[in-house]
Amino acid sequence: MPDSLQGTLDLLILKTLQHEANHGFGITLHIQSVSQGLVTVEEGSLYPALHRLERARLVTAKWQTTSNGRRARVYSLSAAGRKRLAEAEESWSALAKGVGRILRFA
């Protein structure tokens, strides 16, 4: 996955976990729901991203039993993850502002 897409997926995951801890499938559903189906995340991209974020200590994970009785790995945003999220949101906003200016100019 190109670095820019990887960074975008990381941002989406961190932003999702900012609101509450969640398991992988719940993260996928949240992203899809909030984007009104415009963004979908496949398992083949999500779980490597979650493991990468865990190794970087941006998220923590623990096994829990879900409300339907299944065991799932539940991910939470760490303090370092909150810091990285703030930096990423600032960077994303600046990029979006710049692209918006270009689109209005052209």
Q: What is the pLDDT of residues 32-81, one digit of tens each?
A: 999 999 999 999 999 999 999 999 999 999 999 988 889 999 999 999 99
Fold (topology level) of 4-105: Arc Repressor Mutant, subunit A (1.10.10)
pTM equals: 0.86
Q: Which residues contact 54 (CB under 8 A, 6 or more apart)?
A: 60, 61, 75
Q: What pLDDT, on the 0 to 100 scale, is given for residue 68?
A: 84
